[in-house]
A and B are shown apart, each in its own frame.
Chain A
Amino acid sequence: MNREELIAIAEKWFDEQGWKIFSFQKKTWTAFLQGKNGLLNAPTGSGKTYALWTPIVLQYIKDNPNYKSKRTKGIKAIWITPLRALSTEIQQATQRLADELETGLTVGVRTGDTPQSERAKQKRNMPDLLITTPESLMLLLGSKGYASQFKTLTAVVIDEWHELLGSKRGVQMELALSRLKVVASKLRIWGISATIGNINQAQEVLLGADPVYREKSVLIQARQKKKITVQSIIPKEMDTFPWRGHLGLHLLDEVVPIIRDSKTTLLFTNTRSQCEIWFQKILERYPEFAGELAMHHGSIAKDTRLWVEQAIRNESLKAVVATSSLDLGVDFAPVETIIQIGGPKGIAKFLQRAGRSNHRPGETSVIHFLPTHALELVEASALKRAVTEEVMEDRIPHLLSFDVLIQYLVTLAISDGFIPSEIFTEIKTCFAFSSITEDQWMWCLNFITIGSQSLQAYDEYKRVIVTPEGLFKVESKRTAMMHRLSIGTIVSDAMLHVKYVSGGFIGTIEEWFIGKMKPGDTFVFAGRTLELVRLRGMTAQVRMSKKRTANVVSFMGGRLPLSSQMSEILREELQKEDADGKKSKELKALRPVFKQQKKESIVPGANQFLIETFKTREGYHAIFYPFEGRFVHEAMSGLLAYRMSLLKAITFSLAYNDYGFELLSDQPIDIESLIDNNLFTTQYLFSDLQKSINSTELARRKFRDIAVISGLVFQGYPNKMIKTKHLQSSSQLLFDVFKDYEPNNLLYLQAFRETYEHQLEEGRLRQSLERIADQEIVWKECLKPTPFSFPIITDRLREKLSSEKLKDRIKKMTLKYNK
């Protein structure tokens, strides 16, 4: 059959379904059948699954003319999805086409949730299409005989590639592809990505430096503009609007009418604990929603999550409070309304959420934005502009992630073993490792075989061994088992299972949270008030409680910074306050706050850089307002604190949010000397930053993930923490050890590199310092905290920087007593 005849089969099927074929779909079919690789840029809910699954089926029909009577064995395609939750949808859609074209093709899912029996069955007889996650694919590369199993592959499709691109899961995917390209000679690589700022780079990373794959590749863009309307929820009384906070509960009453007026509403929160609290409070104040309101976040038991997703489709729920766990993919046609609680911080994320409503091509999506504190209204105003102007953030790919490389090498070593020269050639085709040197490669090999860079006396380091034939292999069953349990690049705190005493799994929570509690204490989780009965191994046994408690479960991390694109629009919006011309209704509503700010200080204009100082019970505060987003402020505060600490012995505590940062000290902060000595200079930026970081401990936090991913820290067997006690150490301790004994360790250095490239955004920092150099510095000595400063000075997450001797500091401090 030729290409036209094949495409005619698909067209007929689409016709039977009463569907229109989009031109991007047909373009993708053609390109795929021509043997090309590529990236499809299409939003969710646009028909992207059929854009790629259809040609895979057609290719099978072409290769097997007797497909209706005789099925050819062996896996045909792998479909990678970043979220397990999406796999069911994709399975249903793909199976439907396969069945109705009478191909007999089978579709299987393999994720962390797949039962052992099912996995074993797949191992014996692979489905034709395997839907899986990057982690599960890695596990397959870690099992014996993977190469012969995958040699029949004709395609790998990486769905939601933009989600993986900016993370280490992306690097993991690049490595897996570099192997599959060699194992399967007929392989085509396709990615599907939502619109991002660096879409061309996304294609480059996906296909790697491999000339064969790059030359035969295309970028297909679906030209479907989604209409999105943003509506801010503005309180009637601005005076009662809080200056700080991140929960937004004061607007709860305004939200309820929106929920009532619409068929199904999704409320997106930014963190899991915020999600729990909102769920709880709505039911408390509006008990009539009981049974019609549900909650969805990543720590709730999978069964419950699936039930909620199904209930949304059945239209049996009025509203669902969710986190990013519902951001992606899953098609919820009945959802009419989206409410975003708190700033989404990025335009892409916001659009993705907006797209959840009326998830059908062509329809307008409405998203309500609920600001949690006054200044977030400016963010709302900025978001509106960003949506109309279609500004998009970049996803910055990781480079030279040695931790992921080391994990990958050990993965290959636990399956069939590897020959270094072959693998080195392959990994150099990965975008992430195209600049790796021979020395660095040798370092990694030494790391996994002798655990250091030179052989040690009395050493028994054991991980990967080298056979006389030069094959790198893991022989110890125990090492292999430990590695299998550690595959993955998403590191979270140790998780405890929460179960009823009578049985019944509720979900997982982080160990530190339970660690603070005694039996008999109560907490709110999964929308229920629970009493801790006892801890057994890695399980917290609980029972329902009628007690009232404010102890809502919380989770570490998860606060996203404002993107640079958003920051810029935000600064411009803010400056409109003083300019003539049209103001958005958000800015108008903010007038009382601006008035108060102007009374105490100023609202900085385009060419002004504002510094405020004041004294409170807590000490001397200096607040700076670059409006550059959290990460840049983090770096800039560390830099300034370090430079000031060179002028005199002083200790600072640092805080920052998306708008500005604070230096707080027990001594007065000399702003004059800061200006006179030109401490905002970009000179010596790198070396100053390096020194300030050393004290501000950012790299230490990055190292935590690196230590786990590279296998330096073993997180334990599930449910069997005790057995590994002798092997547990904290990454903190390790970081100190490397600092003192192996400062050239590539993993240790990587922690710093990641800090500069991904956390501190050195490039952005330099640009904002240059901008500040051109601005007029306005220093206001205020009598009390200003509205702008309030959210910053009340932030409890703080960094420290000190040039005082430890001994001198201790003398000024007080011991934390047990009351």
Chain B
Amino acid sequence: MNHQLILKNNQFLLHPSGAIYWEEQAMLLVADVHFGKVSHFRKHGAAIPPAVSEENFSNIDQVLQQFKPKTLCFLGDLFHSTLNEEWTRFSNWMDDLDCKVSLVIGNHDIIPLYLFEELNIEVVPELRIEVFLLTHHPTKREGFFNFAGHIHPGVRLTGMGKQGLRIPCFFQSEGQLILPAFGTFTGKHILEPTQKDKVYAIADGEVICLT
């Protein structure tokens, strides 16, 4: 059900949850979880079912269980907007984690950074590991392969009989791979690949290469 990808002699497993496991570094990459988004909406009077935010925690727990990584790296938009009570839930969840946690800061991470640091989360504007560059906004830089989030990529498929579908995906272009949004309460943005791009779609609990 995972899709294996070799990039610059490193092994990456694309997981149907939207996460990527990096074998050599024993690192789990997760983009755009948007913890706290449901609570943020509720605080402002939009009655989103509270159970939705629990789903994010249980999804991420499952992936951690499967790979048992040394490092968990969030590629931005970890906590949506201003502080709310879900932060307490998040702090408790962090207490039970036994791996290192890093956060590449994203545009929705607007709470004071020391709050993350208090939970032992390493906060960085970007991460460089060997030839790999980990950012929130997709960034192309000479000599680096970039992993990023932010976009919430999806693609549109068409078929015989005027069929059409929109599904979330990992989107790979030259020197770059954009992860789908991990969070449950997030939308997707439709990208149109060129012939050079590679698209790994997520469907029925599998990662399927479309190109």
Contact = CB atoms under 8 A, between A and B. Distances in A.
Interface of A: 447, 451-452, 456, 458-463, 478-479, 482, 618-620, 651-653, 664-666, 711-714, 726-727, 729-730, 732-734, 737-738, 741-742, 745, 798, 800, 802, 805-807, 809-818
Given A452-B50, A727-B46, A810-B210, A817 B204 contact: no
Contact of B40 (A447, A726, A802): A726
Given A727-B44, A737-B48, A816-B156, A458 B89 contact: yes
B49 A738 contact: yes
Contacts of B80: 726
A459 B42 contact: yes
Contact of A452 (B47, B84, B211): B47
B88 to A, nearest CB: 6
B185 A666 contact: no
Q: Which 4 A-B pairs have the closest CB atoms?
A: A666-B160, A818-B192, A813-B159, A463-B45
18 contacts: A452-B47, A460-B85, A479-B45, A619-B161, A619-B162, A651-B159, A651-B163, A653-B163, A665-B161, A711-B46, A713-B46, A727-B40, A729-B48, A733-B185, A806-B203, A813-B165, A814-B158, A815-B199
Contacts of B51: 741-742
Contacts, number: 155
B204 A806 contact: yes
A729 B163 contact: no
B179 to A, nearest CB: 19
B15 interface: no
Query: Which of A479, A482, A652, A813 lies at the interface centre, i.e. has the most chain B CB atoms within 10 A of its CB?
Result: A813
A666 B159 contact: yes
A458 B161 contact: no
Contacts of A447: 47
A733 B187 contact: yes
Contacts of A818: 192-194
A458 B86 contact: yes
A451 B210 CA distance: 41
B105 interface: no
Contacts of B155: 815-816
B76 to A, nearest CB: 15
Nearest to A804: B163
Contacts of B58: none
B78 interface: no
Contacts of A458: 39, 85-86, 88-89
Contacts of B203: 806-807, 810
B130 to A, nearest CB: 31
A803 B55 CA distance: 27
A44 to B, nearest CB: 41
B68 interface: no
Q: Chain B interface residue count: which class?
A: 35 or more
Given A666-B163, A726-B108, A734 B48 contact: yes
Interface of B: 39-52, 55, 80-81, 84-86, 88-89, 108, 155-165, 167, 184-187, 192-195, 199, 201, 203-204, 206, 208, 210-211
Query: Which of A462, A815, A818 lies at the interface centre, i.e. has the most chain B CB atoms within 10 A of its CB?
Result: A815
Query: Which of B41, B80, B203, B206 lies at the interface centre, i.e. has the most chain A CB atoms within 10 A of its CB?
Result: B41
A741 B158 CA distance: 30
Nearest to B87: A458
A454 B50 CA distance: 10
Nearest to B86: A458
B33 to A, nearest CB: 15
Contacts of A619: 160-162
Contact of B49 (A664, A729, A741): A741
A433 to B, nearest CB: 20
B163 A810 contact: no
A492 B12 CA distance: 45
A452 B43 CA distance: 13
A796 to B, nearest CB: 8
Given A460-B84, A818-B194, A800 B164 contact: yes
Contact of A712 (B47, B165, B167, B187): B47
A712 B46 contact: yes
Contact of A737 (B44, B49, B86): B49
B158 to A, nearest CB: 6
Contact of A451 (B47, B108, B201, B208): B47
Given A815-B157, A818-B192, A810 B52 contact: no
A49 to B, nearest CB: 41
A145 B166 CA distance: 50
Contacts of A482: 44-45
A813 B163 contact: yes
Contact of B161 (A460, A652, A712): A652
B77 to A, nearest CB: 11
A811 B187 CA distance: 24
B43 A456 contact: no
Contact of A800 (B52, B81, B163, B208): B163
A737 B49 CA distance: 7
A30 to B, nearest CB: 49
A618 B185 contact: no
